[in-house]
Amino acid sequence: MKIVIVDTNILFSSLLASGTKLREVLSNDKYNFYAPNFLIAEIFKHKNKILKCTSATESEVDEFLVKSLQNINFVNEGLISTENFIHAYRLCGNVDEKDTPFVALTLELNGN
């Protein structure tokens, strides 16, 4: 199975619109989805913003969020090598530092 790293923006986008191709992909068994634990914190930090930007009810958002989180393998950032974190920071530092854990995990797992 193909390893796919899910970042915050992908999950945000899937929460904002029901019936999208993105939701379908995130529910697909052909992929092994991974994300750093940081993703969970980001989602709950911005949950009110998500609710303001969607026409879905809070319970609909919560339902899809639970389904999505169940399909994602979460990895403690402490298990990612320092070498991959440094490399990821060098790649992301000038763009968006918050992407560093996702890129580091991608490097660690040779994911997509």
Q: Is the pLDDT of residue 37 over 80?
A: yes
Contact 93, 66 (CB under 8 A): no
Q: Which residues of 28-63 are buried (b: 16+ CB within 10 A; e: fewer)?
A: eeebebbbbebbeebbeeeeeebeeebebeeeebee
Q: What H or E segment, with its residue span, contains residue 36?
A: strand 31-36
Contact 101, 75 (CB under 8 A): no
Give the model confidence (pLDDT) of 86-98 as tens digits.
999 999 988 888 8
Whole-prediction pTM: 0.85
The top-level CATH class assigned to 2-109 is alpha beta
User: What is the chain's mean pLDDT, rounded?
Assistant: 89
Q: How do the domains of the chain map onto residue ranges?
A: 2-109
